[in-house]
Amino acid sequence: MIVDVATYRDGTRQEVADLHTALRRCADLADPADDTQALPSSQEFLWLGLKDPSAEEFTDIASALHLHRLAVEDAVVGHQRPKIEYYDDTVFVVLKVLEYFDETSSVETGEIMVFVGRHFVVTVRRGEIGALSDVRAAVEGDTAELRRGPKGVLHAVMDKVVSGYTVIDAALEQDVEEVEEQVFSPTRSSDAQQIYSLKREVLEVRRAAFPLVAPMKRLVDGDGNGGGPGEGQDPHAAHHPLDEQAVFVLRDVLDNLVRTVEHVESYDRLLTDILNAHLAQVSVRQNEDMRKISAWAAIAAASTLIAGIYGMNFEHMPELTWRLGYPGCLLLMAGVCLGLYRFFKRSGWL
């Protein structure tokens, strides 16, 4: 369940001996009536990483950190649409993480949920895709990022996910170019299945990236609730965990996201055009094959007609007693076939 947990104070990682104690510490820091805390809110926070938690396992954590039940339910059940929602002073982010496999040219999808409070970050990963160990290591190696607190972690996680989209964008671009060259090459091949499979991969990326654009735009523009109003949500919370600096750095992530979505949509349209072109080529090639078959059938029918006439059992046929009748008949058949062949060749049927 727990992948990693640590407390970060003044840019330094501190191991957690007892999770319940660390959770109580977060609750104490979040208490506005408690003025005994010496450290600013951005300099001490808890980062708890979970993987596929059950409802029972998540209960104590949700209760201690005052996580909203709807957000907790989404994190436990999974299979959510990418979104950003506000619940009082907590931001709940759902991200689809993608991974591209060169061997099969396929895209696999995972899911990451992030709870961001004033003094805590809870990352929930569902599935085997999207491990955040490298993100945690990068953040821990950057003291300035750690000093930004939970909002720095949120930026690092979102940047990691969107950077993955950018990598897949480049891979899909190469695949689309390859299938385009293959379709328009003179070599005959059956490309419809490959094109359709590639369209499915493009759709998978679009489903992950496109729904995130609108809430991220609202987030960086400061236009109210990033995920739409709901029970317990307050878009004007007094202690919003994302400050102006956090919103500023997220603009770069948004730019990369929008660029990826634009590219993916262009790939989808291009693949549709490529598929239509492939089907048109198949139809044209079938027509060409039918013309060739018809031309050869006509050539064979002409010689068959002559052979059939002279194969009839009649006694009074002048050619039967002619010494040159047999070679003359063969020459006639050859001449007719050659003439038809040259005619069909000039007309483009052969």
Query: Would you give the distance in Å from CA 201 to the centre of its chain?
Result: 5
The answer to whether 156 and 138 are in contact (CB under 8 A) is yes
* Residue 330: pLDDT band with limits 50, 70, 90: confident
- Best CATH choice for the domain 282-347 from the list 3.50.50.60, 1.20.58.340, 3.40.190.10, 2.60.120.620: 1.20.58.340
Q: Which residue, among 137, 140, 132, has the nearest Cα to 157 in the 3D structure?
A: 132
CA atoms within 13 A on the CB side of 37: 19
Q: Which residue, among 193, 25, 202, 188, has the nearest Cα to 117 in the 3D structure?
A: 25
With a pLDDT cut of 70, the percent of the chain lying above it is: 87
Intervals of CATH 3.30.460.20 along the chain: 2-277
CA gap 92, 76 in Å, rounded? 13
The pLDDT value recorded for residue 234 is: 43
If you average pLDDT over each of 110-124, 229-243, 295-309, which comes out highest? 110-124
In this predicted structure, the answer to whether residue 231 has a pLDDT above a threshold of 80 is: no
The answer to whether 86 and 226 are in contact (CB under 8 A) is yes
Dihedral pair phi/psi, residue 224, rounded to 5°: 70, -145
CA gap 118, 40 in Å, rounded? 10
Name the residue with higher pLDDT: 93 or 310. Answer: 93
Q: Which residue, among 197, 194, 206, 132, has the nearest Cα to 169 in the 3D structure?
A: 206
CA gap 41, 147 in Å, rounded? 10
The answer to whether 202 and 271 are in contact (CB under 8 A) is yes
Q: pLDDT digit string (tens) for 148-158?
A: 888 889 999 99
In this predicted structure, the answer to whether residue 190 has a pLDDT above a threshold of 50 is: yes
Intervals of CATH 1.20.58.340 along the chain: 282-347
DSSP state of 189: -
Q: Order the strands of the 90-101 sheet from edge to edge.
A: 12-15, 2-9, 44-51, 120-126, 106-116, 90-101, 83-87
What amino acid occupies position 203? L
Q: pLDDT digit string (tens) for 53-80?
A: 888 888 888 888 888 999 999 998 888 9
The pLDDT value recorded for residue 104 is: 76
The superfamily CATH assigns to domain 2-277 is CorA soluble domain-like (3.30.460.20)
Residue 32: strand, helix, or coil: coil
* Residue 31: pLDDT band with limits 50, 70, 90: low
In this predicted structure, the answer to whether residue 83 has a pLDDT above a threshold of 60 is: yes
The pLDDT value recorded for residue 255 is: 93
Q: For residue 252, what are its two tokens? A: 């770069």
Burial class (CB in 10 A: 0-12, 13-18, 19+), 209: buried
Q: How far is CA 334 from CA 169, 301, 340, in A?
A: 61, 12, 10
What is the DSSP pairing of strand 90-101 with strand 106-116? antiparallel
Question: pTM of the full predicted structure?
Answer: 0.74
**Mean pLDDT throughout 193-212?**
91
CA gap 162, 300 in Å, rounded? 65
The answer to whether 267 and 275 are in contact (CB under 8 A) is no
Kind and range of the H or E run holding 118: none
Residue 178: strand, helix, or coil: helix
Lowest mean pLDDT among 40-49, 73-82, 122-131, 208-217: 40-49
Name every residue whose Cβ is closer than 8 Å to that of residue 285 and which is 6 or more positions away in sequence. 188
CA gap 124, 184 in Å, rounded? 46
With a pLDDT cut of 90, the percent of the chain lying above it is: 25
The pLDDT value recorded for residue 19 is: 80
* Average pLDDT of the chain to the nearest whole number: 82
Supply the Cα-derived Rg of the chain in whole angstroms.
35
